[in-house]
């Protein structure tokens, strides 16, 4: 196989899987499953917001300034992060796949550049705010909990924050690699 | 009901060319190519109503195929996933299979843009349509095809 014509000849002789008979039905069914999953995600997100607000009032967080501040900062940071993720996921799904390769690449570059700005500026601020909110609550935990429980909450939270930081870092690194590849 | 009827016709007409193109992006791995083809038609079903007819339906489907497959290529590269087709086929003493392996491996070494151009050329898509699918000028496509053909022939000879 030396020349391009031979490669082309070889290409034309490849075995190609036949058109699946139930392909259309499978696609329609899969699409329905995707829609259902989207609705479930929206419901979970809505319920999370309601539960957080409910919890806020349940423990009368508004009556204690330190509790109010700490919990509000944590809840708001978390909500902003979740809403940003949700919004950008929808934005990516709406990118026009039917555009030419070059046009789609340009849109993807714009999308990942926006994500990079989020990762560089908003994510660290939100992460630090979340941790600060937790730190604000620590004196209250110490006053109202046994020392064993307090130590458990403190160390398990440090561990969770560390794992979270690593996971966010991995995700950011992956997205930056995609952006780099798109720009090549 | 009309949408399903239209989609069924589109699916039956275009599935062979979509799966053929997907096989080029997956080094001939049928299972992966089938998944990609399904993903392509899922997107077609999803956006069929928004198809404005700026290009022919065939060109539009090729564009979706290229964009979906390139996303998969990038995902594999970023997550460092390697296809294991080469290992399967290297042990084969069948000369024909070894030639296929060499061909796919050489195509895979091309840049994503060049890979797309040559896969469409191998599929005998007219150069003007390749230009429409890729968004690269007709003249640039013609020049590139010439260069990629030489690159590909040289690679396959050395394999």
Domain residue spans of chain A: 21-58, 63-184
> Mind telling me how many Å the CA of B94 is from chain A's nearest CA?
14
Do the Cβ atoms of A136 and A70 come closer than 8 Å?
Answer: yes
B18 Cβ contact partners less than 8 Å away, ≥ 6 residues apart: B37, B40, B41, B61, B65
**Which of A38, A182, A101 shows the shortest CA–CA distance to B131?**
A101
Do the Cβ atoms of B8 and A24 come closer than 8 Å?
Answer: yes
Looking at the domain covering B2-158, what would its CATH class be?
A: mainly alpha
Torsion of CA A101, A102, A105, A107, to 10 degrees: -110
Query: pLDDT tens across A100-143, in order?
Result: 999 999 999 999 999 999 999 999 999 999 999 999 888 888 88
Chain A residues contacting B via beta carbons under 8 Å: 1-4, 7-8, 10-11, 14, 16-17, 19-20, 23-24, 26-28, 30-31, 34, 96-104, 174, 177-178, 181-182, 184
Tell me which chain B residues have a C-beta less than 8 angstroms from the C-beta of A90. Answer: none
pTM: 0.82
Query: pLDDT tens across B110-129, in order?
Result: 888 999 999 999 999 999 99
Q: What are phi and psi for residue B122, nearest 5 degrees?
A: -65, -30
Domain residue extents for chain B = 2-158
Query: pLDDT tens across B7-46, in order?
Result: 999 999 999 999 999 998 988 888 999 999 999 999 999 8
Residue B42 half-sphere exposure, CB side, CA atoms within 13 Å?
A: 17
ipTM: 0.84
Helix, strand, coil in percent for chain A, rounding step 5:
85, 0, 15
């Amino acid at each position: 196989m030396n020349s391009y014509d031979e490669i082309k000849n070889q290409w034309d002789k490849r075995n190609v899987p036949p058109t699946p008979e139930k392909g259309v039905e499978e696609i329609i069914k899969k699409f329905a499953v995707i829609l259902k999953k989207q609705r479930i995600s929206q419901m979970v997100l809505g319920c999370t917001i309601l539960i957080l607000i409910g919890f806020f009032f349940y423990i009368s967080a508004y009556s204690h300034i330190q509790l109010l501040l700490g919990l509000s900062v944590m809840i708001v940071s978390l909500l902003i992060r979740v809403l940003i993720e949700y919004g950008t996921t929808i934005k990516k799904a709406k990118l026009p796949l039917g555009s030419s390769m070059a046009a789609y690449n340009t849109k993807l570059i714009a999308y990942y550049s926006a994500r990079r700005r989020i990762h560089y500026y908003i994510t660290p601020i939100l992460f630090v705010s979340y941790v600060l909110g937790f730190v604000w609550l620590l004196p209250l935990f110490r006053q109202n909990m046994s020392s064993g429980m307090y130590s458990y909450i403190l160390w398990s939270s440090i561990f969770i924050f560390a794992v979270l930081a690593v996971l966010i870092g991995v995700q950011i690194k992956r997205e930056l690699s995609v952006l780099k590849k798109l720009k090549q | 009901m009309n949408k399903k009827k239209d989609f069924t016709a589109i699916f039956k007409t275009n599935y062979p060319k979509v799966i053929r193109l997907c096989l080029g992006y997956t080094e001939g791995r049928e299972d992966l190519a089938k998944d990609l083809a399904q993903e392509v038609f899922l997107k077609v079903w999803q956006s069929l109503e928004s198809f404005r007819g700026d290009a022919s339906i065939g060109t539009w489907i090729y564009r979706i195929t290229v964009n979906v497959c390139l996303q998969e290529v990038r995902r594999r590269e970023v997550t460092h996933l390697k296809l294991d087709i080469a290992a399967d086929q290297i042990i084969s003493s069948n000369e024909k299979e070894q030639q296929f392996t060499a061909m796919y491996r050489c195509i895979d070494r091309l840049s994503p843009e060049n890979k797309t151009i040559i896969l469409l050329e191998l599929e005998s898509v007219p150069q003007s349509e390749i230009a429409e699918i890729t968004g690269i000028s007709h003249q640039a496509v013609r020049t590139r095809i010439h260069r990629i053909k030489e690159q590909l022939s040289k690679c396959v000879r050395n394999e």
